[in-house]
Amino acid sequence: GGWRVSNRALIPVLLSGGAGTRLWPVSREAHPKPFMQLADGQSLLQKTLIRAARLGGVETVLTITNREYFFKTRDDYEALGAEAKVEKAFLLEPMGRNTGPAVALGALMVSEKWGADAVMLVLAADHLIEGDEAFGNAVRIAAELARDAELVTFGVKPTVAETGYGYIEQGKPLDTPGGYR
């Protein structure tokens, strides 16, 4: 199938790469974290695709991955069958250069293929997010803000201090409920 071009389209962009060193030996370069199977038999990557496909109005999901992971990614997606019925597009990096360049490439592709008014939802393929309804509501609020030219980031309230992560300083509430400067 061809690309669907639509103003104001919501395009989930799944970032799936990395060397898999933090969870070694379970995750490693040949089998990075997104491909790890959980107890229910699904990988984190599969769960991310399902989560994106269940969002209202999503017709296409763009996955940015390393060339070496393309076939494994495609196989993971195909194994889901009807559970993730969306068009699947891919952008293959010749080598990983971290999140920033991947997001920039994704933004260029989304703008080119779906229009400058499309809303891009960047999702890490190695996150486990529970609560589809809460996630969908957060995405709906974020998409409303993004359509008003806001750059939106999601935050999780920390339960312990962790120097490996950044912190978001919450500002004043916006007119859109659930959004803050």
**Is 84:53 a contact under the CB 8 Å cutoff?**
yes
pTM (2 decimals)?
0.83
The predicted-structure confidence for 7-65, as pLDDT tens digits, reads as follows 478 999 999 975 544 444 444 445 577 887 777 888 899 999 999 999 988 999 999 99
The predicted-structure confidence for 165-181, as pLDDT tens digits, reads as follows 788 888 999 888 888 88
74 contacts: CB under 8 Å, gap ≥ 6: 88, 90
What is the rounded CA–CA span in Å between residue 102 and residue 115? 18
105 contacts: CB under 8 Å, gap ≥ 6: 64, 91, 93
